[in-house]
Amino acid sequence: MDVRKSPDRPITKPKQLLVEGRTPHLFFEEFLRVVPIRDVEIHDFGSNEKLSPFLKAFCSRPEFKTLVTSLAIVRDAETVVPASDAQASPSSVERAFESICYSLRAANQQVPSAPALFAGQNPKVGIFILPNCRDDGMLETLCFESVKTDALVACVDSFFDCMGTATNSRPRNLPKTRTFAYLATRDISDPLVGRAAQMKIWPWDSPVFGPLKDFLSQL
């Protein structure tokens, strides 16, 4: 097992942030320096399917029970295919939120009443669903929104318009592909948004990062 994804990795700080994958781990390392928030330790729980077993092991550790004062979990909202019948289906944010709540209950932890809020104490627990706790999307969606005023974005949009005309198709994951294309215009060969964060590409003063900053400031 990758040691970064192990629930047995030492817990050394009172504020714990659990994220979904290596790219968010890199991104939040930079983001927390900007906010700034101190005494935060980031753990990668790997994938959404692995959150429940990760939390059970992580929260049962003696140092979790004695040291940790706050726990935040951040994951993407998954795009929901509309139901074929008239019955309204839960939004991607609702589905992601309920999935995390299920994992928290299984680990005997507090459950907040809504995304972007914290509940309980010692530890208090909060959930944030990217990009903004309201809309479909992911970390790449949030990052791309932060550069929407960049003139290069028009070049990216033109590329995908041309692609649609030429092939009558669109990428399966447009938010990621569009963000990768934007990073290519910035002469970045590694398209990961976490690497781009390390290279100071994202404008941290953009208001789109406001809700995430406000949430993490509560840690």
What residues have CB less than 8 Å from 191, skipping those under 6 apart?
179, 180, 183, 184
Residue 78 and residue 137: Cα distance in Å, rounded?
6
Q: Could you give the angle at the alpha carbon of 42 between the alpha carbons of 4 and 45, nearest 5°?
A: 50
Confidence of residue 82 (pLDDT cuts 50, 70, 90): very low
**CB-CB contact of 71 with 125 (8 Å):** yes
Beta-sheet strand order (sheet of 15-19): 40-44, 15-19, 70-76, 124-130, 118-119
For 201-210, what is each residue's pLDDT tens digit? 999 999 999 9
Backbone angles phi, psi at 32, to 5 degrees: -70, -25
Compute the distance between CA of residue 68 and CA of residue 11 in angstroms, rounded to an integer: 8
Residue-wise pLDDT tens digits, 168-186 = 877 888 888 899 988 988 8
- The pLDDT score that the predictor gives to residue 79 is 57
Determine the Cα–Cα distance for residues 174 and 160; give it in Å rounded to an integer.
9
Dihedral sign, Cα of residue 138, residue 103, residue 46, residue 217 = positive
For position 89, what pLDDT does the model report?
67
Radius of gyration, CA atoms only, the chain:
18
pLDDT-based confidence at 15, cuts 50/70/90? very high
pTM: 0.90
